[in-house]
C-alpha cells in the first residue's frame, strides 16, 4: 500500500524508507516516523480495540499520553505488549500487532460487549460476580480476564538485557521543548553540569510540531541549532529517548533511557533500556502541557483525535489521518490546527467552535456556538453530527475530527512528593502549586505559560535562578506570544456514551453513576469507574472526569481536587527495574577457597545465604545422596574427614577491653578465658531469646577471634558493632570481619591428629597434653605458612579447625586429601555435618529458630547470673521459665524402619491429637549411621524429665503417625570422651 496520506515537508528522512509490518501486512514509512504516524500515512486509522467494550480505536494523540493506539511490538520472546504506537520509533523490519481483539482487529467477536454496555457500566463486576464466592477464582475471573484486557506477555524469557546506573549533575532539565532548551542553553553557557532529558527521540518538543518561527527560523530549525550547540558543550549531557519517571527523595530522579528500542535488536552486550537514578542539586521541569479532549457521544471513533496531535502529524511527520478534517474547539488553538492543516493541503470541513463569539475565518467555515454531538463510521470516522447555535443539526463529512478542549500543564512530577497542584482560572487547568520536590523549578507550558515566548523566558529565568546567575540577562529570541483565549467546555450536555477514559472505557455516564451511588470523592470516583487507572494513567481523561464530578456535586473543580500523582510517569517494563539482577546473577554468590577443588570432586552444592557450600561428594557407584552422606559420616567417625567451614563468620575482636566487651555480649563468662583457649558462647537478644552461638578463641590477652554461624555472620557483626558504638562507647574495642580472609577446615575423626601432624610444622606440638580440647594457637604449616589451629568439635569426634590465608585454602585442601590418603580421608559436606551434629545433640539453626531460649536448649546454666549481659534479665522473665517449658531431647523410633520428619508434632501415646494437646515438635531429623535408624532432635514440654517415655509423632502434612521414644539428645559419645581423646 502506498502512503496515500503522506503530506509534503515534515522532519522525516525520505531518503531512508523503512519497511514494517502491522497485523501481518507490510507497509512503508520513513526514518523519523513513529509507528502511528507511518500507519496514518498509510491510511490506517484503526490500531486497537478498547479494554472493555472492544470498540475500534485509533490514535488520540501523538505522544506518550496515548490511551488508544496500544500495540504489541516485536515478536517471539521479544514481544512487548501495551506499547504506544504514538511513541514507538519506526525502524526497518518493525513488527507490531494490535491487541485485545479476536479474531482480527477489523472483526472483533468480543465487540459484542459493546451491545451489552448497559450491563457493563462501572461497578458491574463488583455487583454481579459476588455470588457464589467460590466461583470468583475459578470461573468469573478467568472469563473476565479473557474478555477484557490488554496485551499478552510472550511467556518466554526476555532475551534482552537491561542496565541500571547512576548519574549526577548540578542541574537536571526535564523536557527539551522551548523552555527546556532555553534553560539548558542558559545553564550550559554558564558552565553548569547539566543533564537535559527528553522522552522523544528528537529534541524540541512542540517546536517540532508547530509552524511558527523563532527569530526568523522555523521552530524545528531553532531547536536543532540549540541541540547542536548543547552537544558541543562538554558540560552538558543530552539524554534523548529518556523519560524521567519519578521525582524521589533528596533530589533523586528515576529515568528510563531507551537504548535499543528503535533498533531491530540490541547490539551485542548492549541493554535494551537503562534505569538511571539521577542525583541533582537543582531541577527544572519543562514537561509541557497536554491537550485535553471534549466528551460527546461516540467521540472514540478512529479519526477523532486531539487537534494538536493532527498538527504534530502534519507538521512533523507529514502525515494526516484523512484528507478532509473537521475541528471541534473551545479555544483559539483549534483554529491554529485548521490553518496548519489547510496549509498542508488538507480540506477543512468546518471548525465547530463552542464559543458564540469565536473569530471567523476567510479560509474555512467556522460554526460559532456549535457542538459536535455524535459521530458515525463503522471502523473509523465518516461523519460528525453537529448541533448549531440555533438548535438545528448538520452532518459534516470528515475522516478525522480534531478536538481541542484547552491544555493541561504536565504537573505530575511536581506532585510526586505529595504536593498538590493549584487551579488557574484563565486556562481552566491545574498548575504546579504547594511545595515542590527539593530543588525543583518549573518552566514553560508546565507552569501554564502556554506561548513560545513565555516558554523561552521562563526557561531562561528558571536556569538563572537555579544557578544563582547575576547580572543582566540576555534577551530571548522573538517568538509567538498569543494569549490563551478559551472558554471551559468539558462535555456536551445530554451525552451518555461520551468517552472520558478511552483506554479503560469510562464514559460520562459512568461518572454520573459513580456520583449517584455515592462514590463522590475523586479517589472513590477513580476506584469505582477505573478512570485514570489504565497504562496512560488518565493523562487525557482525568480532568474531564473531575470537571463532570464537580458539576454534579455542585463544587468547583479545585474543590473537587485531583487524585494523587505517582511514579512512574509512563509505564516501565519490569525487566528495566530488574536490570542485570536476574537468573544466576540475581544476587552475588560467595565461593569458598576450595570451591574449584570441590567442583572437581563432583560436589553437589547448596546455597546457604549467598554461599555455595558442598552438600556431599558423590563417589562412583553411589546413586542416592544418602549413600554418599552415610559413607562420609561413617568414614569420618571411623578415621578422618575434612569439611570446608570457611563460611562460618569470623570476627576479629581486639582492644584492652575486648574481654569485657565479649563478657557483655555473650551470656556465659568470657572475661576469664585464658589465652590459648576457646570457649563455646551463647549470644542472646535483648528479649532473652537466643540470637546465635559460636566460639570465642583468645589468641592474645587483647585479641579474640569470634566465630558465628554461617547464616548469622552479618547479623552478629552488626549487633556487636551496635554494642560497641552505642552500649559501650567507653570501651577500647575494635572489630573487623575476617570471614573471607581465612580458609578454614574442620578436620574430624580419630585420625585427625595424625593427619594434622603431617601438615602442622614440627615445632608446634598438637598432642592431647600440649594442645587439649578447646585449645587454640597461632601456628605455621607446610613449612612456614602462618595459620591458626583450634581444637573444637562439631561432630563430637576428636577434631580441629585449621585456618590459613584464603589464597592458600585450595592448596591446603589438596594437601590434606593427599596426606590423608593413608587414613582413607574423606571430604564431607553440609549434610554429613548435619547428621553428625544431630547425633551429637548440638543445637544449630533449626533449634536456634528465633523462639528458643537457653533453657529450651538445655543450656540454661550458661546464662551467667554473676554478671550483666545482654538478654540475661529478660531470659529470666516468668513466661520463658514455665514449669512445662520446652526442652531439647532426642527421639528414636520404636520401629527402626520408620521415618522421623522434622516439623512433626509430638502427642502423648494416647489421648487426643490436636493443637491443645501438643507436647512439642521435631526440630531436626536425619538417618544416623551410628544408630542405624532415623533419629531426631525435638523440643518437648518438660523434656528433660521425660526420657524413656513413648510418644506419638504426627505429621498431618506427610500423613505420618509413628511411635517414638524420648532419649538423650546425645546419641554419640554422651560423655564426650572422643573429643577429648
Partner 1 sequence: MHDLTAITALGGAEARVDRHGGVTLAENSDLALSSVAARLGQEETCAENLTRLLGAAPPAPGKALLSDPLSAVWMGPDQWMIGADYQAHETLAQTCKDVLKSSASVTEQSDAWVCFDLSGAGIQMVMELLCNIDHRRMEPGDATRTSIHHLGCFVVCGEPDAFVRILGPRASAGSLHHALLTAMHSAL
**How many angstroms from the chain centroid is the CA of residue 672?**
51
Q: Output the smallest distance, CB 749 to partner 1, in A.
A: 22
- In this complex, which beta carbon is closest to partner 1, that of residue 569 or of residue 611? 611
Q: What gap in Å lies between CA 173 and CA 235, rounded to an integer? A: 13
Three-point CA angle 836, 842, 844, nearest 5°: 100
- In this complex, which beta carbon is closest to partner 1, that of residue 730 or of residue 910? 730
- In this complex, which beta carbon is closest to partner 1, that of residue 340 or of residue 657? 657
| CA atoms in the 13 A half-sphere facing the CB of 707 | 21
Q: What gap in Å lies between CA 305 and CA 303, rounded to an integer? A: 6
Sequence-ordered alpha helix ranges (H) in 639-712:
658-665
Evaluate the omega torsion of the peptide bond into residue 568 and state whether it is cis, within 30 degrees of 0: yes
Backbone angles phi, psi at 164, to 5 degrees: -125, 150
Sheet order of strands, 304-306 included: 304-306, 400-404, 324-329, 347-353, 366-368
Q: Which of 8, 66, 9 is nearest to 35 (CA)?
A: 66
Q: Output the smallest distance, CB 706 to partner 1, in A.
A: 13
Q: What gap in Å lies between CA 360 and CA 357, rounded to an integer? A: 9
Q: What gap in Å lies between CA 231 and CA 227, rounded to an integer? A: 6
Count of beta carbons in the 10 Å neighbourhood of residue 835? 25
- In this complex, which beta carbon is closest to partner 1, that of residue 115 or of residue 580? 580
Q: Output the smallest distance, CB 202 to partner 1, in A.
A: 24
Q: What gap in Å lies between CA 43 and CA 47, rounded to an integer? A: 11
Q: Output the smallest distance, CB 350 to partner 1, in A.
A: 54
Q: Output the smallest distance, CB 167 to partner 1, in A.
A: 6
Q: Output the smallest distance, CB 719 to partner 1, in A.
A: 17
H helices, E strands: number in the chain = 23, 50
- In this complex, which beta carbon is closest to partner 1, that of residue 213 or of residue 702? 702
List the beta bridge partners of residue 372: 386
Q: Which of 432, 473, 548, 409 is nearest to 189 (CA)?
A: 473
- In this complex, which beta carbon is closest to partner 1, that of residue 319 or of residue 662? 662
Q: Output the smallest distance, CB 739 to partner 1, in A.
A: 8
Q: What gap in Å lies between CA 173 and CA 253, rounded to an integer? A: 11
* Residues within the interface to partner 1 (CB under 8 A): 161, 163-168, 193, 268-271, 274, 277, 279, 580-581, 585, 587-593, 595-596, 610-611, 646, 652, 654-657, 702-703, 730-734, 736-743, 780-786, 804-808, 810-812, 815
Count of beta carbons in the 10 Å neighbourhood of residue 383? 18
Q: What gap in Å lies between CA 632 and CA 616, rounded to an integer? A: 8
Q: Output the smallest distance, CB 582 to partner 1, in A.
A: 12
Q: Output the smallest distance, CB 780 to partner 1, in A.
A: 8
Q: Output the smallest distance, CB 850 to partner 1, in A.
A: 24
Q: Output the smallest distance, CB 352 to partner 1, in A.
A: 52
Q: Output the smallest distance, CB 198 to partner 1, in A.
A: 19
Instruction: Identify each DSSP E strand in 115-184 by its residue range.
Output: 162-174
Q: What gap in Å lies between CA 303 and CA 658, rounded to an integer? A: 79
Count of beta carbons in the 10 Å neighbourhood of residue 508? 25
Q: What gap in Å lies between CA 279 and CA 246, rounded to an integer? A: 12
- In this complex, which beta carbon is closest to partner 1, that of residue 173 or of residue 699? 699
- In this complex, which beta carbon is closest to partner 1, that of residue 397 or of residue 732? 732
Q: Output the smallest distance, CB 674 to partner 1, in A.
A: 20
Q: Output the smallest distance, CB 782 to partner 1, in A.
A: 4
- In this complex, which beta carbon is closest to partner 1, that of residue 171 or of residue 445? 171
- In this complex, which beta carbon is closest to partner 1, that of residue 197 or of residue 511? 197
The full length of the chain comes to 981
Q: Which of 800, 799, 749 is nearest to 640 (CA)?
A: 749
- In this complex, which beta carbon is closest to partner 1, that of residue 198 or of residue 257? 257
Q: Which of 566, 568, 544, 546 is nearest to 557 (CA)?
A: 546
Backbone φ/ψ region at 356: left (φ over 0), alpha (ψ -120 to 50), beta: alpha
Spatial CB neighbours of 826, under 8 Å, sequence gap ≥ 6: 617, 631, 632, 635, 636, 639, 640, 641, 642
List the beta bridge partners of residue 164: 275
List the beta bridge partners of residue 908: 951
Spatial CB neighbours of 722, under 8 Å, sequence gap ≥ 6: none
Contact (Cβ atoms closer than 8 angstroms) between residue 306 and residue 328: no
Q: Output the smallest distance, CB 615 to partner 1, in A.
A: 18
Q: What gap in Å lies between CA 548 and CA 410, rounded to an integer? A: 20
Q: Which of 555, 510, 554, 550 is nearest to 533 (CA)?
A: 510
- In this complex, which beta carbon is closest to partner 1, that of residue 299 or of residue 646? 646
Q: Output the smallest distance, CB 703 to partner 1, in A.
A: 8
- In this complex, which beta carbon is closest to partner 1, that of residue 657 or of residue 949? 657
Contact (Cβ atoms closer than 8 angstroms) between residue 615 and residue 606: yes
Q: What gap in Å lies between CA 840 and CA 974, rounded to an integer? A: 8
- In this complex, which beta carbon is closest to partner 1, that of residue 193 or of residue 481? 193
Q: Output the smallest distance, CB 172 to partner 1, in A.
A: 13
- In this complex, which beta carbon is closest to partner 1, that of residue 277 or of residue 754? 277
Q: Output the smallest distance, CB 589 to partner 1, in A.
A: 5
- In this complex, which beta carbon is closest to partner 1, that of residue 171 or of residue 922? 171
Residue with cell 528510563: 256
- In this complex, which beta carbon is closest to partner 1, that of residue 794 or of residue 808? 808
Contact (Cβ atoms closer than 8 angstroms) between residue 87 and residue 309: no
- In this complex, which beta carbon is closest to partner 1, that of residue 585 or of residue 882? 585
Count of beta carbons in the 10 Å neighbourhood of residue 810? 17
Amino acid at each position: 500500500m502506498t502512503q496515500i496520506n503522506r503530506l509534503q515537508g515534515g522532519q522525516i528522512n525520505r531518503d531512508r524508507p523503512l519497511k514494517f509490518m502491522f497485523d501481518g501486512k507490510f507497509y512503508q514509512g520513513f526514518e523519523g516516523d513513529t509507528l502511528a504516524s507511518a500507519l496514518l500515512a498509510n491510511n490506517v486509522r484503526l490500531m486497537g480495540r478498547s479494554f472493555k467494550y472492544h470498540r475500534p480505536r485509533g490514535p488520540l494523540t501523538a505522544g506518550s499520553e496515548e490511551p488508544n493506539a496500544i500495540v504489541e511490538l516485536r515478536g517471539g520472546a521479544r514481544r512487548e505488549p501495551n506499547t504506544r504506537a504514538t511513541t514507538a520509533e519506526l525502524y526497518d523490519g518493525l513488527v507490531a500487532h494490535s491487541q485485545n481483539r479476536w479474531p482480527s482487529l477489523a472483526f472483533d467477536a468480543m465487540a459484542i460487549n459493546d451491545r451489552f454496555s448497559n450491563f457493563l457500566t462501572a461497578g458491574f463486576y463488583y455487583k454481579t460476580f459476588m455470588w457464589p464466592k467460590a466461583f470468583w477464582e475459578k470461573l468469573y475471573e478467568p472469563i473476565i480476564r479473557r474478555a477484557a484486557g490488554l496485551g499478552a506477555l510472550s511467556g518466554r524469557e526476555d532475551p534482552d538485557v537491561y542496565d541500571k546506573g547512576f548519574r549526577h549533575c548540578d542541574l537536571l532539565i526535564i523536557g527539551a521543548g522551548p523552555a527546556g532548551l532555553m534553560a539548558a542553553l542558559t545553564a550550559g553557557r554558564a558552565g553548569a553540569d547539566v543533564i537535559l532529558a527528553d522522552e522523544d527521540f528528537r529534541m524540541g518538543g512542540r517546536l517540532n510540531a508547530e509552524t511558527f518561527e523563532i527569530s526568523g527560523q522555523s521552530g524545528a530549525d531553532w531547536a536543532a541549532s540549540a541541540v547542536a550547540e548543547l552537544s558541543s558543550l562538554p558540560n552538558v549531557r543530552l539524554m534523548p529517548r529518556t523519560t524521567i519517571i519519578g521525582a524521589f527523595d533528596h533530589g533523586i530522579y528515576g529515568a528510563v533511557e531507551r537504548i535499543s528500542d528503535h533498533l531491530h535488536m540490541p547490539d551485542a552486550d548492549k541493554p535494551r533500556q537503562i534505569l538511571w537514578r539521577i542525583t541533582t542539586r537543582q531541577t527544572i521541569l519543562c514537561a509541557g502541557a497536554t491537550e485535553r479532549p471534549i466528551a460527546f457521544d461516540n467521540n472514540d471513533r478512529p479519526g477523532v483525535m486531539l487537534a494538536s496531535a493532527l498538527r504534530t502529524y502534519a507538521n512533523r511527520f507529514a502525515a494526516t489521518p484523512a484528507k478532509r478534517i473537521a475541528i471541534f474547539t473551545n479555544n483559539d488553538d483549534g483554529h491554529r490546527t485548521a490553518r496548519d492543516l489547510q496549509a498542508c493541503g488538507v480540506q477543512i470541513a468546518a471548525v465547530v467552535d463552542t464559543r458564540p463569539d469565536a473569530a471567523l475565518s476567510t479560509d474555512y467555515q467556522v460554526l460559532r456556538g456549535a457542538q459536535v454531538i455524535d459521530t458515525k463510521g463503522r471502523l473509523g470516522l465518516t461523519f460528525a453530527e453537529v448541533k448549531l447555535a440555533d438548535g438545528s443539526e448538520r452532518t459534516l463529512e470528515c475522516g478525522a475530527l480534531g478536538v481541542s478542549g484547552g491544555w493541561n500543564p504536565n504537573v505530575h512530577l511536581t506532585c510526586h512528593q505529595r504536593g498538590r497542584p493549584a487551579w488557574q482560572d484563565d486556562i481552566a487547568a491545574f498548575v504546579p502549586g504547594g511545595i515542590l520536590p527539593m530543588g525543583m523549578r518549573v518552566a514553560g507550558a508546565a507552569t501554564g505559560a502556554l506561548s513560545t515566548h513565555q516558554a523561552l523566558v521562563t526557561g531562561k529565568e528558571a536556569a538563572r535562578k537555579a544557578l544563582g546567575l547575576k547580572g543582566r540577562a540576555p534577551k530571548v529570541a522573538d517568538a509567538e506570544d498569543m494569549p490563551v483565549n478559551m472558554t471551559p467546555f468539558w462535555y456536551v450536555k445530554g451525552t451518555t456514551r461520551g468517552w472520558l477514559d478511552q483506554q479503560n472505557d469510562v464514559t460520562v455516564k459512568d461518572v454520573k453513576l459513580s456520583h449517584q451511588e455515592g462514590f463522590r470523592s475523586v479517589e472513590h470516583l477513580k476506584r469505582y469507574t477505573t478512570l485514570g487507572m489504565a497504562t496512560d494513567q488518565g493523562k487525557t481523561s482525568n480532568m474531564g472526569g473531575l470537571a463532570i464530578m464537580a458539576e454534579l456535586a455542585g463544587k468547583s473543580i479545585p474543590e473537587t481536587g485531583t487524585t494523587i500523582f505517582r511514579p512512574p510517569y509512563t509505564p516501565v517494563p519490569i525487566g528495566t527495574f530488574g536490570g542485570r539482577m536476574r537468573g544466576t546473577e540475581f544476587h552475588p554468590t560467595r565461593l569458598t577457597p576450595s570451591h574449584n577443588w570441590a567442583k572437581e570432586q563432583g560436589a553437589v552444592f547448596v546455597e546457604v545465604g549467598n554461599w555455595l557450600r558442598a552438600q556431599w561428594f558423590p563417589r562412583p557407584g553411589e546413586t542416592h545422596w544418602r549413600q554418599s552422606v552415610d559413607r562420609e559420616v561413617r568414614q569420618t567417625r571411623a578415621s578422618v574427614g575434612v569439611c570446608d567451614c570457611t563460611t562460618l563468620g569470623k570476627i576479629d575482636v581486639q582492644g584492652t577491653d575486648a574481654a569485657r566487651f565479649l563478657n557483655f555480649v555473650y551470656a556465659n563468662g568470657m572475661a576469664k578465658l585464658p589465652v590459648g583457649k576457646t570457649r563455646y558462647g551463647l549470644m542472646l537478644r535483648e528479649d532473652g531469646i537466643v540470637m546465635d552461638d559460636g566460639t570465642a578463641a583468645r589468641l592474645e590477652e587483647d585479641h579474640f577471634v569470634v566465630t558465628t554461624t554461617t547464616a548469622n555472620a552479618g547479623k552478629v557483626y552488626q549487633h556487636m558493632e551496635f554494642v560497641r558504638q552505642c552500649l559501650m562507647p567507653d570501651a577500647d574495642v575494635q572489630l573487623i570481619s575476617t570471614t573471607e580472609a581465612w580458609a578454614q577446615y574442620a578436620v574430624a575423626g580419630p585420625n585427625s591428629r595424625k593427619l594434622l601432624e603431617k601438615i602442622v610444622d614440627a615445632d608446634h606440638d598438637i598432642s592431647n597434653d600440649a594442645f587439649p580440647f578447646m585449645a587454640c594457637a597461632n601456628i605455621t604449616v607446610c613449612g612456614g605458612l602462618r595459620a591458626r589451629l583450634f581444637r573444637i568439635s562439631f561432630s563430637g569426634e576428636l577434631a580441629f579447625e585449621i585456618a590459613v590465608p584464603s589464597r592458600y585454602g585450595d592448596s591446603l585442601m589438596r594437601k590434606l586429601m593427599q596426606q590423608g590418603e593413608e587414613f582413607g580421608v574423606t571430604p564431607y559436606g553440609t549434610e554429613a555435618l548435619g547428621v553428625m551434629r544431630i547425633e551429637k545433640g548440638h543445637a544449630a539453626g533449626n533449634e536456634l529458630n528465633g523462639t528458643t531460649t537457653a533453657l529450651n536448649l538445655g543450656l540454661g546454666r550458661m546464662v551467667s547470673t554473676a554478671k550483666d549481659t545482654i538478654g540475661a534479665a529478660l531470659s529470666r522473665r516468668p513466661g520463658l521459665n514455665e514449669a512445662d517449658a520446652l526442652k531439647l531431647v532426642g527421639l528414636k523410633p520404636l520401629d527402626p524402619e520408620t521415618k522421623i520428619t522434622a516439623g512433626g508434632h509430638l502427642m502423648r501415646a494416647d489421648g487426643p491429637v490436636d493443637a491443645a494437646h501438643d507436647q512439642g515438635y521435631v526440630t531436626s531429623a536425619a538417618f544416623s549411621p551410628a544408630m542405624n535408624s532415623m533419629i531426631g532432635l525435638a523440643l518437648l514440654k518438660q523434656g528433660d524429665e521425660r526420657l524413656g517415655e513413648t510418644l506419638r509423632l504426627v505429621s498431618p502434612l506427610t500423613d505420618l503417625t509413628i511411635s517414638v521414644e524420648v532419649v538423650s539428645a546425645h546419641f554419640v559419645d554422651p560423655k564426650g570422651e572422643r573429643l577429648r581423646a
